[in-house]
Structure 1
């Protein structure tokens, strides 16, 4: 029953965005904590494996719980801790299973992937749930993101073909794996296409060298079959434009731009920014037009979240685990190692680990390198032994207190995120006053400028880089006739989002209104001062042009480095009004 609970949790997480949303991650934390506490109290013992992977996951969780102290947004940083705790608890839950839970989760991938592909294609063709199942004509499934769906289906394809050819599986396994491949094609994810070609080539080589079910002829046939699949996939992909423009794509240059700008952030903030910190700080360092929540490189995102040294230590421990367990070359289940290799490679170009369900797959694969589940230890090359520790009454009590704290915290944050996603910002704010996105949306929706200013002040107490909050304070100062504070706050808003044209145009519109009002009131010096600030804007755009990198000009979103004609005319008209020329 315990094993099936974990399996059910994994399947359930696939529904709300693959476990991307914080309310789903919080729900997973609650269920895992309940399962773990119940198991420990009933068995009066805990099972752990003293491995580098364990220490890497412990360090990951500890840093996400510690980084809110110095994070950019001290309210949102705790949502990152919830996700990390969820992964760590999942690992501990796997070790308490008497049945191979991790093996069953990995074994379900081809079946789950094929069902998701068929249902998603049907819903996509019927134009049902267009913003949920598909994105810009690309299959996204329940993940709502084509690239992560692509790598999920590729892992299902590898698992299905590996089971059929190397483990004497059923024809259903092969059918499901081919359906997963159909889904991969429908995602139109170029990164996954490249990994698919690499997978097919490596799979062909593996089967060529290895006897399949003790039959050399079958091994040769399987190897040649997969090799032929490579050619068919490449030819069809080339004709359908799958690989066209890979190196001239705006998406490729955009991701390089994110990465290069992110390295500059790390140079100034080596201790990390906390969860969502990158989103709010990127404007101060960016050299092109973009606004992304996560950089498209999971290893770099880890460093941005918790700091350079902890990130290097965690990845180093994971690599050491691979090497200690024989890596990808010595014995073991080559198919599972291929799955782990493809997932690790895709993490270089996307943020798959932000989806808790993908993180669970990663945990299952890494745990498998240490012998995995007790009944499937022969599947991988690892040989670490499970340590069973009996717990005293005080130790059990301490774990119960810790488990209850996790449950309370997860329910608290999860409910706030759930109400936010339901559009009930006021309830979300009441539950968790530090929920910045809910405060921002509330500011955008209310018409009371003074109230918006008060909400903005609440944001800035925890996050000094929020452009929305600064602009709200600027509007409030403008309504109160506080010219100096209006200029200060609006410039801070533009500084936080330099490539967002809306902030600059709002600034000019309000300055124009001030020029008109001061002129009518006979306050000529104030009118002249307001105009001078207007005249600075084109000069600031010239500086922004110098700041913009070459990559910034190669992406699809062209930097707004010139003012619209009506605003240039506005500046000229105000100059004539103030100076008569």
Structure 2
């Protein structure tokens, strides 16, 4: 915006430019930094009057980056800008989120509703990562409100950018916000949303006369009541008053999940888990609680059923697999003590299923995950790995018949 000002004389203008450029560096965002460099390069090419200023600012940026590396002795602060194209795990991660998110949208073009992506993503993701949003505002609009809503949002941006009555500054801001929105969630911040609205121009102003004012007032009142209900419910959840929040909004899934994690009474925990499963069958936490209760009651068949579903709903969480192995190991000891060979075979095969399922998940992992900083595939530590190998050997010696190719 400063570079668009016609009058650039005075120290204040340069001070503001230095402060804003330095602030971008201190954000640590390589995407924002890259966009700033592209903008400086653009103005360097098209605006001859600003070339000296931009050249000086480039030196300022390089100087601050070097000073940051020397002082901290680390590339994890300002020096990380130098690795934007070599070691950018964040960028690859966001590309991976969007690939998985696009697949979800294609399968569900009507959208998933607010937070639907967050609940569904652990069961369909193609690598080991954790995220609440897809980090692409346009795709997020599609996942929340459907493909039509996403297409309309894209058209609205394009139409406003090409609107003849819009000023260059307005168009420039819309382009920058649109580009950055493809890799982050700008529009979820009210301030950015207001800037977008201000920059958008309408061709014609139209006045609408409401003929059925009573119906309009009724709909407005209903909308106000629903908004008030949602506001009170989410406010109570924010304050940690989950039971009160659920009395006002029983469908508030996040509050029910938090309440479930606090339950100490078995009956109440099972009731909360059942309600969660009834409203959303993708919540792995609910199946985990059901499995824990079934295990405590020695209802091992039910435990297996719930534990499998918990794993399928959160297939890249290694801790769930390890907990399941621990439980199966205890059951095997019990069956061995009772000389229950049939029972031992059943739960040995369940341990073999875990091995096969993990191998299947790892083969389906997206190659993009190799660029991520964290481990991209499921892998047990040496203790669990050795135990599973011993189980496979024991099963092959005692139960597997020649030529048996049964898949568990």
Task: Please state which band the TM-score falls in when normalised by the shorter chain.
Answer: 0.7 to 0.9
Is the 1:288–1:553 Cα contact (8 Å) retained in structure 2?
no
Shift in Å, 1:475: 1.7
1:284 pairs with 2:123: yes
Name the count of aligned residue pairs. Answer: 387
Partner of 1:274: 113
SS of equivalent to 2:25? helix
CA distance in 2, matches of 1:189, 1:550: 25
- Superposition pairs of residues 7-26 of structure 1, within 5 angstroms: none
Q: 1:308 aligns with which of 147, 155, 160?
A: 147
SS of equivalent to 1:241? helix
SS of equivalent to 2:83? coil
Partner of 2:75: none
CA distance in 1, matches of 2:10, 2:234: 43
1:199 pairs with 2:19: no
Classify 1:322/1:497 alpha carbon distance in 2 versus 1 (closer, same or farther; 3 Å): same
Partner of 2:244: 427
1:229 pairs with 2:46: no
SS of equivalent to 1:498? coil
Is the 1:250–1:554 Cα contact (8 Å) retained in structure 2?
yes
Is the 1:515–1:530 Cα contact (8 Å) retained in structure 2?
yes
CA distance in 1, matches of 2:6, 2:150: 36
Partner of 1:387: 206
SS of equivalent to 2:82? coil
**TM-score, length basis structure 1:** 0.61
Is the 1:499–1:559 Cα contact (8 Å) retained in structure 2?
no
Partner of 2:302: 485
Partner of 2:134: 295
1:446 pairs with 2:263: yes
Shift in Å, 1:435: 1.5
CA distance in 2, matches of 1:509, 1:536: 15
Partner of 1:341: 175
1:477-513 residue CA offsets vs partner (Å, 9 max, x unmatched): 2233333322122111111111101111121122122
Greater mean alpha carbon deviation, residues 507-516 or residues 169-178: 169-178
Partner of 1:246: 84
CA distance in 2, matches of 1:533, 1:405: 53
Q: 1:259 aligns with which of 98, 103, 108?
A: 98
CA distance in 1, matches of 2:169, 2:261: 51
Is the 1:449–1:475 Cα contact (8 Å) retained in structure 2?
no
* Root-mean-square deviation over aligned CA pairs: 2.9
Shift in Å, 1:533: 0.4
SS of equivalent to 2:39? helix
CA distance in 1, matches of 2:115, 2:306: 22
Is the 1:264–1:285 Cα contact (8 Å) retained in structure 2?
no
Partner of 1:459: 276
Is the 1:273–1:306 Cα contact (8 Å) retained in structure 2?
yes
CA distance in 1, matches of 2:266, 2:369: 35
- Superposition pairs of residues 19-34 of structure 1, within 5 angstroms: none
CA distance in 1, matches of 2:210, 2:102: 45
1:32-75 residue CA offsets vs partner (Å, 9 max, x unmatched): xxxxxxxxxxxxxxxxxxxxxxxxxxxxxxxxxxxxxxxxxxxx
Shift in Å, 1:249: 1.4
Shift in Å, 1:206: 5.6
CA distance in 2, matches of 1:468, 1:518: 28
Shift in Å, 1:346: 0.5
Shift in Å, 1:196: 0.8
CA distance in 2, matches of 1:579, 1:448: 42
1:441-495 residue CA offsets vs partner (Å, 9 max, x unmatched): 2222223333222111111222121111121222222233333322122111111
CA distance in 2, matches of 1:347, 1:483: 48
CA distance in 1, matches of 2:356, 2:395: 20
Is the 1:515–1:574 Cα contact (8 Å) retained in structure 2?
no
Q: 1:500 aligns with which of 317, 323, 334?
A: 317
